[in-house]
Structure 1
C-alpha cells in the first residue's frame, strides 16, 4: 500500500479481522462477515522511516493502542469494498500524520492603508450613531 511519496507499507504488515456488520444488507447482514477491522503496528513497522516514525506516533497518539492503529469499515455491504475503504482511510491517516508541520507564521504589522481604512470606517460608524441621538429637529 502506497502512502504518498514518503513510504510504502507492504500488505504483510497489515492484519485484517472480519465480523458481522450492523447496517444495510437485509437478511444477508446476519450471515456475511462484511465489517473489516484493519490493524497496523505503527511503532514496530520497519516500513516507516525513523525520522517520520516519531512524527506519526505523535500525531496519531490518541488513536493508537500500544502503538497499533486500528480502523474499522462497515459502510458498504460487501467485504471487498469495506477492505478498500479501510485501506484508503489508513493511507490518508498516515499521509496526513507524516506530513511536515506548516511553516511558522511571521508576524506582520498592518499596512498604512489598512489602518486608514479601519479608522475611516470607525469614523463613518461613529457619525451614524451620532446621527441617532435622541434630538428631533422638527
Structure 2
C-alpha cells in the first residue's frame, strides 16, 4: 500500500461515477490501496434528481457519511431514512436500496471495499 494525501485546494470533481446525477471527487484511496478500497466525495449535480431504482452492490463493505445537505434512501427491510449532515450509514453487503431524493447541496463521503465492485440494478 502507498501513502496518499489530498488537500482541499487540489479538489476536483468529475462527472465520471456510478450515477449521472452526481459528481465524484476521488480521494486517492483506490490507487493507494491498489484497488482494495475506494473512497470519494459525491455531490449533487444541481437541477438533477435521483431515479429511485432499486439496486445492490457486490461488496464486502460500504460506509456512507453525509457531509452537507440531505438525501432520502430506502433500504429493504429498514424503510426510508432521511440522511442529513452527520449521518453515518453502514450498508451491509448486498442490501437492496435506492435513493428517493436529495438536496441540491448534498455532499456524501463514501468508502467501499473492494475498490472495484459491481452494481446490480433490480426490479
Q: TM-score, structure 2 length as denominator?
A: 0.28
**Greater RCO (CA < 8 Å, at least 6 residues apart):** 2
Greater strand share, structure number: 2
Greater helix share, structure number: 1
Q: TM-score, structure 1 length as denominator?
A: 0.26
Q: Larger Rg: 1 or 2? A: 1
